[in-house]
Amino acid sequence: MKPHSHSHRHPHSKHHKPSGRVGGDIGFIQGAGRLRFTSISPAGTGRKVYIPLYLTAPIVGYQALTDTGLAPISTTCPTITLAAPAANGATNTATLVSPQISWALLRFVGFVTSIQTPVIPSLPPMDITFSDLRLGGSTNLFVHEDFASGDLYEIGNSNPGFRYYPVLKSPNTMTVQVQGIGMATSQATAFSCSIMCDILDDDQYGMHISGPYARRDTIQSPT
């Protein structure tokens, strides 16, 4: 007589498939004791927004580039031209301000710059430096206490990190100080800067929860 065969497989067989919802809990309950593990993922691209900072007070050497020409201040055009210092060294210091965002609750996640330095300058280049990034009356969010080159925060580069990532809620705004370092013969330089934020809650669209399209690397094709 042939021994009776069992149709079930050993739970640890390589052919055994764990039960559960497909694409749901299976991915993160594999482990010792089948414990549940979760992690907070970074913001998807669908939630990230750039908010420019503006020259809102006239400072000698600084001019906003507007659709009608150069202006001493602007709350709508973020590109700024900075003239060379009167003597070798530093220019005057200006404070740039973000607008009040009344339609959403935001979280600050980064700071970026765009500095228009010629690839082959005909005159000595000027370094655009930044310091004292603050939310309202908060302490400096930059890790560096003094002015640092804006090249560190050039858009497209890896974000160097910050001391804290606060929530930005109107009427609070964010400010940063800017200063040029160069020679009296340096070429005038155009630049702009922005804060990067996550939209946590929008007055019209509610809480923004991005889907898989915002993280293309997590989408797996069926095999």
CB 202 within 8 A of CB 208: yes
In a domain, 219, yes or no: no
Q: What is the pLDDT of residues 88-141, one digit of tens each?
A: 999 999 999 999 999 999 999 999 999 998 888 889 999 999 999 999 888 999
In a domain, 173, yes or no: yes
Q: Give the residue among 214, 191, 188 at the shortest CA–CA distance from 61.
A: 188
- pLDDT at residue number 32: 53
In a domain, 144, yes or no: yes
Q: What is the pLDDT of residues 47-89, one digit of tens each?
A: 788 999 999 999 999 999 999 999 999 999 999 999 999 999 9
In a domain, 217, yes or no: no
Number of domain units in the chain: 1
* Structural domain harbouring 170: 48-102+112-194
In a domain, 12, yes or no: no
In a domain, 146, yes or no: yes
In a domain, 107, yes or no: no
In a domain, 127, yes or no: yes
- CA 97 – CA 65 distance, rounded (Å): 16
Q: What is the pLDDT of residues 174-188, one digit of tens each?
A: 999 999 999 999 999
Q: What is the pLDDT of residues 10-42, one digit of tens each?
A: 444 444 444 444 444 444 445 555 655 454 445
Q: Which pTM was predicted?
A: 0.74
